[in-house]
Structure 1
């Protein structure tokens, strides 16, 4: 990475890409694509600032730009949905400007490229595939419904499915056009990002175990949910139900479904960390 300012970095591969674009006469199209991507990311940036999320950095990559927040995880699914939706909204607004621009300046090749790039970005970022905006929105919705760990598990499978479909479309386009490698390159980038996302999410899940012990204390007040579970159930199986946006209270029942006791999610996490991953709820 080449550091430009404290908050702005450029990947070193951007420079040879610009040089190649210049040699093949595509520098204008490349700059237009980067301009559209920049507006897309600025909408993410403004949404994050409005929602009082700290900004880590803006990174210019060979095939786009990405906004990195200071925190590894946004602990409000609602905020995550709004920040993720801001990018596709930018592309939609730019597409809505196209008829006005055509009326003012006429329908030109530049406007056609502008429209095509925005359509492609809007389509791509609405796919339910991590780390795209659509994937982040679906992950946040699933977090509300079934907890962070389960949401991540579902999104990994869904992302792999859509990535395979995208690769198939990319290969088909390559066969038809003979020279169009752009979608193949985008798919390769997404595959690498998905691998990195998997490694990062495993680290985040471990962080969440520790965070679950203190989240109520740090906030003072949280909405709660209850879970009823049999005492014989492995304690670790309840982790997939936990989420950072609410506090769980667990009612433990015996095999006859009679009430035994109630434990908090903090007690559950403490027991797992102290006694090991193979304990049952009866051991808490």
Structure 2
């Protein structure tokens, strides 16, 4: 566990990701590292560095075993434990490393909110599978609670982080403004919404690494008004993100 976390920490330092905290627990180190949705391949490398450190340990132990026939019994336990940790953490569910990697890959194609929803659905399906298999294990007389515990842990984690995707989308929009001002040129995406759509729903539909221009249509599909994403953010803070565009346009007259 300690070497696994050290892998994450070293990679985060190399790629200049913020390490918020490092704690020493009875089972080893625990770290809290910034997980920006817009971090791209650097976040993937930081996420995969933990399992890679476990794989490295496995390879070293295999080499040692190859040249030294007689090994202490705990060597085999360490080999087994690190193999399990590497495979377990690459399962594509949140909050495991595999889930974070899947979320980053989907973010580049579907946007932050949609990628979170899709990753969450995959996580829920696997959590249900873990709970079902774990329950059958208990019914069959096995005292292995690991799969059941993993499934319940995933359920708890997803329940406590439902608002995170919306907050990440807002954070990405705020940072996108500074990137646009710095570059001077930026790829754009047009979004068409009806006047009855809420501002919050529009923010959720915005993509990764695109500057958005939103066109608001009336019931006859005529153009009422257009907004840039920065204008929408400013107006959401000024009024309320839960209002519709029809209400927003009326307030701005």
Please, what TM-score do these two structures have when normalized by structure 1? 0.71
Aligned to 1:250: 214
- Does the alignment pair 1:209 with 2:160? no
Contact 2:127 2:155 in 1 (8 A): yes
SS in 2 for 1:242: coil
Residue 256 of structure 1 deviates from its aligned partner by: 7.0
State the aligned residue count: 244
Between 253-262 and 227-236, report the one with greater CA deviation.
253-262
CA shift, 1:177, in A, is: 6.8
Q: Indicate conservation of the 8 Å contact 1:213/1:265, yes or no.
A: no
TM-score, structure 2 length as denominator?
Answer: 0.78
**Map of 1:137-216 to 2, 5 A cutoff?**
137-174=101-138, 178-198=142-162, 201=164, 205-206=166-167, 208-209=169-170, 212-213=173-174, 215-216=176-177
The reply to whether residue 83 of structure 1 matches residue 51 of structure 2 is: no
Per the alignment, residue 245 of structure 2 pairs with 280
The answer on whether the counterparts of 1:225 and 1:246 sit within 8 Å (CA) in structure 2 is yes
Cα RMSD (Å): 3.2
Structure 1 pair 244–236 and aligned structure 2 pair: CA distance change class (3 A): same
Q: Residue 17 of structure 2 aligns to a residue in which SS?
A: coil
Structure 2 residue 156 is the aligned partner of structure 1 residue 224: no
- CA gap of 1:155–1:63, structure 2 versus 1, over 3 A, is farther
Contact between 1:63 and 1:186, CA under 8 Å: does it hold in 2? no
Instruction: Confirm whether residue 269 of structure 1 aligns to residue 238 of structure 2.
Output: no
Gaps of 5+ in 2: none
Q: For residues 148 and 44 of structure 1, what CA distance do their matches in structure 2 show?
A: 23
Q: How far apart, CA to CA, are the structure 2 residues paired with 1:112 and 1:167?
A: 29
In structure 1, what is the equivalent of residue 10 of structure 2? 46
1:258 deviation in Å?
Answer: 6.8
Q: CA deviation at 1:43?
A: 0.9
- Find the counterpart in structure 2 of residue 59 from structure 1: 23
Alpha-carbon distance in 2 for matches of 1:50, 1:146: 28
State how far apart, in whole Å, the 2-side matches of 1:214 and 1:120 are: 38
The answer on whether the counterparts of 1:225 and 1:249 sit within 8 Å (CA) in structure 2 is yes
* Deviation, structure 1 residue 216: 1.3
SS, match of residue 198 in structure 1: coil
The separation in 2 between residues aligned to 1:150 and 1:64, in whole angstroms, is: 34
Match of 1:128 in 2: 92
Give the direction of change, closer, same or farther, for the CA distance of 1:262–1:152 in structure 2 (3 Å limit).
same
Confirm or deny: 8 A CA contact 2:23 2:29 kept in the other structure: yes
